[in-house]
Amino acid sequence: MSSSVDLNDDQGPTLKALMIAMLTVPTVAVSLRFWSRAILPGFSSTPIRFWWDDWTALLAAMLNITMCGIGLEMAKLGLGKHAQAVPVENFSQIMKLLWTEYFIFDTGTSVARASALLFYSRVFTQVQSHFKYALWILHVMNLAWMVGLHIVVGIQCDPIEKVWKPLIPGRCIGMRTLFLGSGISSLIINIFILVLPLPLLWRLQMQMVRKLLIIGVFLCGYMVVVVSIGRLVTIIEVSDNLDKDFTWEIMKPTFWLSSEIAISVVSVCLPSIFVFSRRLYHDGMNSLVGSIRHQRPKSRFVKSDIGRTYFSRITHGEEETEMDAKLFNPPQKCSFTATMASAESHVTASKNSSQPPDTGIVVRSDITIT
């Protein structure tokens, strides 16, 4: 490390501010998600309002809170300062906390991804089998990524104490290798999750503007890909200098790493937040605190006085599909059509049509709001 380094330099305050923001924003996002889901009108024959995608989003938010707490403690101990300015005992504690944070990060990231995949499962219920297979493959890849990294981090050093006591005899996997392996594989999985629903969304039978807006919601709903790219780039930039001034050089990747779970949580909550905001705008605050309706739907095409503000479901027998995000409909009256995209994407269904084959998905192009 150069002798010209100013030992008073400290990136800790920036890290603390980031941790507070990354703790607050996802917590608010999850709260709005559950509020939005709780006040949806009753669609289904069952009273279930929260599904596995909601609970996994909540778990990811809790893991994010834990991770932010650890980040604040590491900043207090001296993370963000030059290594020469950090007491030896503090350095050991920082390394131990950082090692613990790896496990939390890997778990939280995987849980947030699972929430996104489960959301796809809930929205796209009647789809071609290859989409379902792709979902399962991504679930397996996500789980394997988490378990694999847990194993690698768990045996990162031999003996493991060398992680936080680098001067004792032993050997370790290089930080560059660990970070790059984690970052590249994470980015690949995130990209797969991002593009998975796009072909289905593109085949929706609706006006191009609305189609693009709905695709935009899904893209914004998984904007964590940008964070993954940022983390990977900074890891490449600083990896050669980590051994020279670890507590200072690690800060750029730490900023991205500390944001990834938080942004993932916000991303998977965005569709519900859009619904919540749309309902608030059109129906006022009273619509957000009213009683929750539990009635069983009697018709195949379910309507309500807030039909423009939710991911609406079209029921068909015992099956139901959430497809068209009613986020962009104007408040005035509009007409409705329903189509079914089969394996060939050309079968049309109306109100009185027979039950679609299992390979099809029911798609709404618009709906009458009276």
Q: Alpha-carbon distance 219 to 268, whole Å?
A: 10
Q: What is the pLDDT of residue 253?
A: 86
Residues in the chain with pLDDT values less than 70: 1-3, 40-48, 126-127, 206, 220-222, 283-370
Residue 349 lies in a domain: no
Question: Can you tell me the distance from the alpha carbon of 299 to that of 327, in angstroms, rounded to the nearest whole number?
Answer: 23
Q: What is the CATH number of the domain that holds 235?
A: 1.20.1070
Q: What pLDDT was estimated at residue 124?
A: 77
Give a yes or no: residue 45 inside a domain: yes
pLDDT confidence of residue 327: 42
Q: Say if 225 falls within a structural domain.
A: yes
Query: Is residue 182 situated within a structural domain?
Result: yes
Could you tell me the CA-to-CA distances from 52 to 120, 121, 180, 192 in Å, in that order? 11, 10, 31, 21
Enter the tokens of residue 13: 């305050």
How many structural domains are present in the chain? Answer: 1
pLDDT at position 137, please?
A: 94
Residue 205 CB-density burial (10 A; 0-12 exposed, 13-18 middle, 19+ buried)? middle
CA distance 273 to 57: 13
Sign of torsion over alpha carbons 101, 103, 108, 109 = positive
pLDDT tens by residue, 146-197: 999 999 999 988 899 998 888 889 898 887 888 888 889 998 998 898 888 8
Q: Which domain holds residue 100?
A: 11-274
Q: Does residue 321 fall inside a structural domain?
A: no
pLDDT tens across 244-271, in order?
888 888 888 888 888 888 988 888 888 8
pLDDT of residue 342: 34
- pLDDT at residue 284 in the model: 65
Provide the sign of the torsion angle of the four alpha carbons 105, 110, 113, 119, taken in this order. negative
Query: 224-238 and 251-283 are packed helices; what angle lies between their axes, rounded to 10 degrees?
Result: 170
**pLDDT value of residue 178:** 85
> 82 lies in a domain?
yes
DSSP 76-96: HHTBTB-GGGS-HHHHHHHHH
Assigned domain for 316 exists: no
- Determine the 3-state secondary structure of 6 from DSSP: coil
163 vs 241: CA distance, rounded Å: 17
Q: Are strands 319-325 and 311-316 parallel, antiparallel or unpaired?
A: antiparallel
- Residue 366 domain flag: no
Query: What contacts 10, CB < 8 A, 6 or more positions away?
Result: 80, 81
Convert the pLDDT of each residue in 265-297 to its tens digit. 888 888 888 877 777 777 666 666 654 444 444
What would the 3-class secondary structure string for 248-315 be?
HHCHHHHHHHHHHHHHHHHHHHHHHHHHHHHHHHHHCHHHHCCCCCCCCCCCCECCCCCHHHCEEEEE
Smallest CA-to-CA distance from 271 within 40, 68, 67 is with 40
Kindly report the average pLDDT of the chain as a whole number: 74
